Structure 1
Amino acid sequence: MRPAAPGRAGGAGAGTPLAGPAPVGGSRRDRDGRRSERLAPYVLVAPAVLIIVVLRLWPLVLGVNFSFTGDGERNGAPVGLDNYTALLDDPLFRTALRNVGLLVLMLPIAVAIPGLLATFIYLRVPGHRLFRSVYFFPAVLSPVIVGAIFNLLMAYDGPLNAVLAHAGIGPVDWLGDPHVAVFAVVGVHVWATFGMALVVFLAGFATLDAALLDAARVDGASLPQTIRHVVVPGLTRTIQFVFITTMIGMLTSMFGLLYVMTGGGPEGSTYLPEYYIWVQQGQMNRPALASAASTALFVIMLVVGLLQISVLRRVGRDD
C-alpha cells in the first residue's frame, strides 16, 4: 500500500497550505498607515490653527494685557481697572454703548430683509428676477463710495428731501439731527451689506427639503404660513449664522460709513465702539484706553452672540 502523499491528509482542502498565525496588531505597514490616517487631520488643520494663534489669539492676549497699563505719564505702568473706569465715565463711550443696544434691536430687521429677498427668489414670486439681478450690487461698493453717494442723497437740500417735499412731508435733517443720524447710517449699512447675507440664505435654501414646500402648496398654505412653518424651521442654523455675522459686521465694519457720513456726529450721537477706538488711538494718542475699549467690544460681541444663539436655538426647538 502506497503511503499517502504529503499534504493530502486532512480531507478536502488539505492541498492548501496552512497559513501561519497572523501577527498581533497587523503588519508594520498597516500600523504606519493607521498612524498616518490619525495624524492627517491634525497636519491639515495645523497651519490654520497656527495662523489663528499667531495673528488672532496672541494679539488679543497682548491687547487685553495692554488695557491694564497707563497712557501718557504712566505709559506702560500697571493701572489696574483705571482704563475701564475711565471708559464708563466718558459720555462718548456711553453713547457708543447705547448705540450698540440700538443695533441689537435693529438686528432682526437687518436679517429679515435678506431673508425675505432670498425667500422671494427661491419661491419665484413675481419680481424675483429683479431681486436676483441687483441684490449683490451694493456689496461690491466701497464704504467710502457708499457714504459719499448717500451724503448727496440725504443732504438737507438733496434729492430725498425733494421727494418728501413733493409728498407734502417737511424736509428731514438726516445727517444733522442727533435723533435721526444713527438710524440713517445704520440703514445705509444694511443696504450696502445685505447682499452677502442673501447669498448665505440662498445657500441654506439649497439644503431645504423641497418636499416640505410642495406639501405646503398642496395644503394651501399662504406665503407667510410657508415662511413661518417651513422656511424658518428648516433654516435655523443658517439664520443663526447670519445673525452672528451681521452683528459682527455692524459692530466692526461701519467705520468707513461713520467717517464719511457723520464723523461721529452730530454731538457724538453716531459713535460706535469701533469709531471710539479709532479716535482714542489715532487722534488722542491713548493706546491703552483704546485697548480697553477693544476688550470691551470683544466681550460685548461674545455675550450678545451667545445670547442670540441661545434664543434662536430655543425658538427652533419650540417650532
Structure 2
Amino acid sequence: MLPVRPEVTRRTGNRKPRRSRGERLAPYILVAPAVLIIVGLRLYPLVLGVNFSFTGDGVLNGQPVGLDNYMTLFGDPLFRQAMRNVALLVLLLPVAVAIPGLLATFIYLRVPGHRFYRVVYFFPAVLSPVIVGAIFNLLLAYGGPFNGLLGAIGLGPVDWLGDRRVAMLTVVGVHVWATFGMALVVFLAGFATLNSSLLDAARVDGASLVQEIWHVIIPGLARTIQFVFVTTMIGMLTAMFGLLFVMTSGGPEGSTYLPEYYIWIQQGQMNRPALASAASTVLFLVMLVVGLLQISVLRRSGRED
C-alpha cells in the first residue's frame, strides 16, 4: 500500500466544499423582497420627486423650469427661517442626546426606584404628537398652570407659544420630552454591552461619578451615542410636524417653521407641488449629509478600536 503524502492530506482537508447554485442564490432571493419594496416605495418616488422639482407649477405645470423652483425656495423668507431653525436643532442636538443618556446612566447604576423611572421615562413615547401638543397647549397657555407657578415664585408669565424668541425652543423642548424614551431604550441596550469590570476598577481607584461617566461610560458607549445622535437628528427633521401643527401652526410670524411644515404648506394649502418637491429634495440632502457624516465617524471609530 502506497503511503499518503502529508501535504496531499493537508490540501484535501483545507479545501472548502463547493456550494450548489441554489445555495449561492439563496441570500439574494431572501433579500429580494425587501430590496424591491425599498426601490418601489422609496427610491423610485424619490427620483420622481427630484425630477418633478425641476418642473413648473400653475400654468407651467409639467414644463421644465430648470432651477427656478430652487431660486424661489431660497428667496422665500419662510424657507430661510425653516433652514435657520434646522441650524438651531443642530445646536440643541447634544442636549437632546445628553438627557436620555444621563437618565439611562442613572437607571443602569440602579438608583433607588430605577424600575419605576424606566416605565415613566418611556411613557411619553407611546403618546400621539397631537395628544402631546394639546396637553402642552393647556399647560403652557399664557394663563395656564405653568405660568401660574412662575407667577407664584415672582418670575412673571412667559408667552411660551406667542413669543417668537422662545416659541421654537418651547416646541423643541416638548418634542425632546415626548421622544427621549426611545433613545433611552437604545442607551440601555448599549449599557448591556458595556464592560462592567471597568466601572468596578474605576470605583476601586476612587473615581467620582462624573469621572466614571466621562472616562468609562462615554468611551464604552461611543457607537451607541453616535447612533442616537443621527436618529435623534432625523427625528427632529421629520417627526415634528404634529407638534408644530397643533401647538403653533408655524407661528408666531413663521418663527417655528421647519422644512417638513413648509412642504406641507406648499403642497396642501398653496397647491404648489413642484416647489414642495424642491423643498423635499433639499430636506433629503440635509439628511443625507448627516448620514454620511455619521458613517464617516463610525468608520473612523472602528479603525481606532
Q: Please report the TM-score for the alignment, with normalisation by the length of structure 2.
A: 0.91
Cα distance change on mapping 1:46 and 1:316 into 2, 3 Å: closer
Write out aligned runs for 1:241-280 (5 A): 241-280=227-266
Give the number of the structure whose residues are more often helix, by fraction: 2
Cα distance change on mapping 1:39 and 1:316 into 2, 3 Å: closer
SS at match of 2:74: helix
Match of 2:160 among 168, 174, 180: 174
Find out whether 1:65 has 2:51 as its counterpart.
yes
State the shift of 1:103 in Å. 0.3
Write out aligned runs for 1:1-319 (5 A): 31=18, 33-308=19-294, 310=296
State the shift of 1:83 in Å. 0.3
State the shift of 1:146 in Å. 0.3
2: CA distance, partners of 1:157 / 1:312: 48
State the shift of 1:313 in Å. 6.7
2: CA distance, partners of 1:318 / 1:168: 53
Q: Please report the TM-score for the alignment, with normalisation by the length of structure 1.
A: 0.87
The aligned counterpart of 1:7 is none
Cα distance change on mapping 1:302 and 1:177 into 2, 3 Å: same
2: CA distance, partners of 1:167 / 1:37: 72
Cα distance change on mapping 1:126 and 1:312 into 2, 3 Å: farther
| Paired letter, 1:269 | S
SS at match of 1:110: helix
2: CA distance, partners of 1:162 / 1:178: 21
2: CA distance, partners of 1:226 / 1:140: 32
State the shift of 1:316 in Å. 8.8
Residues 214-255 of structure 1 deviation map (CA, whole Å, 9 limit, x = unaligned): 111211211111111111111111111111110111000000
Cα distance change on mapping 1:72 and 1:209 into 2, 3 Å: same
2: CA distance, partners of 1:299 / 1:272: 15
| Paired letter, 1:169 | L
Cα distance change on mapping 1:218 and 1:124 into 2, 3 Å: same
SS at match of 1:136: helix
What is the count of residue pairs matched by the alignment? 295
SS at match of 1:250: helix
2: CA distance, partners of 1:317 / 1:156: 53
Equivalent pair of 1:233/1:316 in contact (CA under 8 Å): no
Equivalent pair of 1:240/1:309 in contact (CA under 8 Å): no
State the shift of 1:167 in Å. 1.1
Equivalent pair of 1:236/1:312 in contact (CA under 8 Å): no
SS at match of 2:119: helix
The aligned counterpart of 1:15 is none
Equivalent pair of 1:93/1:276 in contact (CA under 8 Å): yes
Equivalent pair of 1:236/1:316 in contact (CA under 8 Å): no
Can you give the 5+ residue segments of structure 2 that lack an aligned partner in the other structure? 4-11
2: CA distance, partners of 1:221 / 1:313: 31
2: CA distance, partners of 1:308 / 1:172: 38
**Deviates most, 218-227 or 284-293:** 218-227
| Paired letter, 2:285 | V
Cα distance change on mapping 1:90 and 1:76 into 2, 3 Å: same
2: CA distance, partners of 1:176 / 1:11: 96
The aligned counterpart of 1:4 is none
State the shift of 1:127 in Å. 4.5
SS at match of 2:164: coil
State the shift of 1:35 in Å. 3.0
Q: Which has the larger radius of gyration?
A: 1
SS at match of 1:220: coil
Residues 144-198 of structure 1 deviation map (CA, whole Å, 9 limit, x = unaligned): 0000000000000000000001111010000000011000000000000000010
Can you give the 5+ residue segments of structure 1 that lack an aligned partner in the other structure? 1-9, 13-21
Residues 272-297 of structure 1 deviation map (CA, whole Å, 9 limit, x = unaligned): 00000000000000000000000000
